[in-house]
Amino acid sequence: MLLRHTPEAVAERSALTINPAKTCQPVGAMYAALGVHRCLPHSHGSQGCCAYHRSALTRHYKDPIMATTSSFTEGASVFGGQANMLEALTNIFALYDPEIVAVHTTCLSETIGDDLPQIINKARSEDKIPKGKFVVHANTPSYKGSHVTGYANMVAAFVQYFSRSTGRRTGRINLIPSFVEPSDMSEIKHIASEMGIDFAMFPDTSDVVNGPMDGKFRMYPRGGATREQIEAAGDARLTVALGRVGALPAAKLLDTKCKVPVEALDLPIGVRATDALVETLRKAAGVPVPDSLSLERGQLVDVLCDMSQYTYGRTVSMVGDPDLLVGLVSFCRDAGMRVLHVVTGTNPGPKFERRIKELAGEGVTVRTGLQADMFLFHQLVKGERPDLIMGNTYCKYIARDMDIPLVRVGFPIYDRVGHSYFPVTGYRGGLMLLERVLGAIQDRIDRDAPEESFELVM
């Protein structure tokens, strides 16, 4: 009911965010760390912060998320968290035996100015880090950036700590995905595998946060990129960054550090964006496109053509993470849909708006940053009503208030299941996403059809 009091007229705000269209950096850093094999995320801050970050990921993936914390109290808040972290590392290696501990900061530890490299060096000098074990860190203050930038910072930290160049180039291709579902990481690997390419993906949360229920508890699931793969990334022939906000920082660091060339692409959602990935891999590896991928592409194009009367000219408004939004806009344009509004709580810079307008046209409204929140999104939807909303679970309130169909995509999704297992990337993922879009549109047509027009076959 409160949403019905949202005014349609947009008033510019400079110091107020109402229902942010993002969450904080440590959530993304924790997720990235889960994509490395036998890596345990560690939150250097209060126990409550870690509990929230774990809860957000657990509710989204319907899977228990393992992480540890320095458990700051009032004393650590005043005198610093070094003693807490040193004790934590002693307990972590004794109790949980990870290969890697990936430390990310929180608002509290950043504000008091804890020097993580110094603390890690002290822990190693005092033999609190066993031989053959590693501790890495990323600075991820919650008052800056979003979960996507936290993810990017942690992936870059793995490159900083582990990637090395031996001077002997291999034929391997590095694939670095942005903050996407484990199902999307599986789909990207499927494309590279079908092409017979020697590749390594990191991070890789497939078979980690969407693993099977087999009656056995595994502190460290079978999935995840290995430390050896990240080390060897410095000798690869090419790095493909899938997403300019979440993936490109690590790829650029790998180029700076190890001189591995970078190819930055949009997330491969829909026909054109997936074609770009396939073409890039084909040229880099010197391999043909297999018939299996041509079949998958043809099936997606077939359904786009067969059902174009339901998607062509439909209007859509979307909110979410910048890399995902670029991919979704490309997908919607493939389907002949018109994008009205694109809103992200992350601040990806001016290149993002230019890219959205390249794909959707100059008429699209693009808003980014702290004041690009769910309140603003609701105002934009009130001002120019779309046929469809695309976004995370928090969009359900706006969709209900406005009586507009919602296709859930992005992070977080708390009230549905399937996103961990059904991708939106690649040709197969595009087909699954298209089915969801068509289902939402056709369900609305059925609901609103008069009795004489309620047909068995649409």
Strand segments, DSSP code E, in 314-378 are 315-319, 338-344, 365-368
Strands 199-201 and 173-177: parallel
Superfamily of domain 303-452 in the CATH hierarchy: Nitrogenase molybdenum iron protein domain (3.40.50.1980)
CA atoms of 389 and 404, how far apart (whole Å): 7
Domain boundaries, the chain: 25-144, 173-293, 303-452
Class for domain 25-144, per CATH?
A: alpha beta
Decide: 379 and 342 in contact? Cβ < 8 Å.
Answer: no
pLDDT tens digits in sequence order for the chain, 458 residues long: 457 789 989 988 888 999 999 999 999 999 999 999 999 999 999 999 999 999 999 999 999 999 999 999 888 888 889 999 999 999 999 999 999 999 999 999 999 999 999 999 999 999 999 999 999 999 999 999 999 999 999 999 999 999 999 999 999 999 999 999 999 999 999 999 999 999 999 999 999 999 888 888 889 999 999 999 999 999 999 999 999 999 999 999 999 999 999 999 999 999 999 999 999 999 999 999 999 999 999 999 999 999 999 999 999 999 999 999 999 999 999 999 999 999 999 999 999 999 999 999 999 999 999 899 999 999 999 999 999 999 999 999 999 999 999 999 999 999 999 999 999 999 999 999 999 999 999 999 999 999 999 988 87
- CATH level 2 (architecture), domain 173-293: 3-Layer(aba) Sandwich (3.40)
Report how far residue 313's alpha carbon sits from residue 336's, in angstroms, rounded to the nearest whole number.
Answer: 6
pLDDT of 315-343, one tens digit each? 999 999 999 999 999 999 999 999 999 99
Q: Is the pTM of this model over 0.75?
A: yes
> What one-character-per-residue DSSP string does 180-239 give?
--HHHHHHHHHHHHHTT--EEESS--TTTSS----S---SS-S-SB-HHHHHHGGG-SEE
Task: Note the pLDDT of residue 2.
Answer: 57
Matching fold, domains 25-144 and 303-452: yes
Token pair belonging to 100 = 């890697």
Cβ 202 vs Cβ 233: under 8 Å: yes
Where helices occur in 267-349 by DSSP H, the ranges are: 271-285, 291-306, 308-311, 322-334
Q: How many CA atoms lie within 13 A of 223 on its CB side?
A: 21
pLDDT digits (tens, 9 = 90+) for 193-205: 999 999 999 999 9
**Which of these, 301, 385, 382, lies nearest to 338 by C-alpha position?**
385
Is-cis flag, bond preceding 412, omega within 30? Answer: yes
Query: What pLDDT is stored for residue 419 in this prediction?
Result: 93
Q: In angstroms, rounded to a whole number, what is the distance separating the alpha carbons of residues 55 and 62? A: 10
Q: Measured in whole angstroms, how far is the alpha carbon of residue 458 from the centre of its chain?
A: 36
Q: How far apart are CA 199 and CA 274, in angstroms?
A: 17
Long-range CB contacts for residues 128-134, cutoff 8 Å, separation at least 24:
128/86, 128/89, 128/90, 128/93, 129/89, 129/93, 130/93, 132/99, 133/93, 133/98, 133/99, 133/100, 133/101, 134/99, 134/100, 134/101, 134/161, 134/162, 134/227
Neighbours of 414 (CB within 10 A): 14
- As to burial, measured by CB atoms within 10 angstroms (0-12 exposed, 13-18 middle, 19+ buried), residue 264 is middle
